[in-house]
Amino acid sequence: MKKNFLTAIKEALHEEMEHNGDMICIGEDIGLLGGAFGVTEGLQERYGTGRVIDAPISEAAIVGSAVGMSLNGKTVMAEMQFIDFISCGFDQIVNNLATYHYRTAGDVDMGVVIRGPAGGYGGGALYHSQMNEAWFANSPGIKIVCPSTPSDAKGLMKYALRDRNPVLFYEVKQLYRDNAIAEELPEGDYVIEFGQASIRREGSDLTFVTYGQNVYHCLKAADLLAEEGVKAEVIDIRTLVPLDEETILKSIAKTNRLVVVNEAPMTCGFAGEIVARIADKGFEYLDAPPLRVTRLDTPVPWAKTLELHVLPSVEKIVAAGKRVVRF
């Protein structure tokens, strides 16, 4: 039976709670309500209030509690009701969670996964549409994940909950109940290791590098470009930290052209990091300047026409692809 993105994450949480008796979940409304989007539905009923904790509306307290529980040997899943408000727990994340392993000379692990709904395109406006992953990519000690498919979401979540490093897990909420991407999940206890990109479509004329919902925008753009004889390769990096540079470089060596697509603003966004690494390690492969298709450097508006204007679109991606091919 095909399952959607939300169900895949829910299954991963239930399986890991069953697998690991030392796992605790904490977040706003994750117990009785089952989460704002239903991701944690049934967890508290099955595992009790001691392991599935309804927290007050304080992300700083949630992450701080997760740090303390991890120091006492627990694996912790901390939910941000919307990833936008992870900023309220920023100090605990970058100054405590990310640094404990380093400042204890490797003696202390931080088995904490912070997850939550992210991204725009749903009319959530400026407080419920952010992709702020680049903030944390600049903070050594944190791993960052952003899957695009249900099977990846489940496999990566299970791996994250078994990794003794802190992980930020970005779930693009527009994918939660998108039945167009529902799929049959692999049988049994499977995990997907970090740092392994997936080639969603093979091509020879240019490379799209992306993650999250923008994977589907790039695939659609590749379909449209194919009608004009341009074969685009689409790489879904899946994890930002660690980043699979090898797969990207192999693709650039084949296609000689690069377009990076992500939802975050252009200035200091992760797309710029990918372009910089290609310039550093694969400049000799390039036959055209690499391009970025990102959100404009503005908050996400509420009005749908304005929201679509500032966010990446299939049309913008197609235009960028044509530009690098014609250079």
**Domains, in order of start, for the chain:** 5-181 (3.40.50.970), 198-326 (3.40.50.920)
User: How big, in percent rounded to 5, are the helix, strand and coil portions of the chain?
Assistant: 40, 20, 40
C-alpha 111/C-alpha 97 separation (Å) is 9
Contact 257, 288 (CB under 8 A): yes
User: DSSP secondary-structure letter at 294?
Assistant: E
Q: Which residues 6+ apart lie within 8 Å of 104 measured at CB?
A: none
Contact 213, 172 (CB under 8 A): yes
C-alpha 150/C-alpha 4 separation (Å) is 6
C-alpha 20/C-alpha 12 separation (Å) is 12
C-alpha 132/C-alpha 240 separation (Å) is 12
Q: Which of 14, 19, 101, 128 is catalytic?
A: 128
pTM for the model: 0.97
* pLDDT tens per residue across all 327 residues of the chain: 999 999 999 999 999 999 999 999 999 999 999 999 999 999 999 999 999 999 999 999 999 999 999 999 999 999 999 999 999 999 999 999 999 999 999 999 999 999 999 999 999 999 999 999 999 999 999 999 999 999 999 999 999 999 999 999 999 999 999 999 999 999 999 999 999 999 999 999 999 999 999 999 999 999 999 999 999 999 999 999 999 999 999 999 999 999 999 999 999 999 999 999 999 999 999 999 999 999 999 999 999 999 999 999 999 999 999 999 999
- Say what the pLDDT of residue 315 is: 98
**For this structure, is 128 an active site residue?**
yes
- Say what the pLDDT of residue 158 is: 98
- Say what the pLDDT of residue 154 is: 98
Tokens of 88: 């309220």
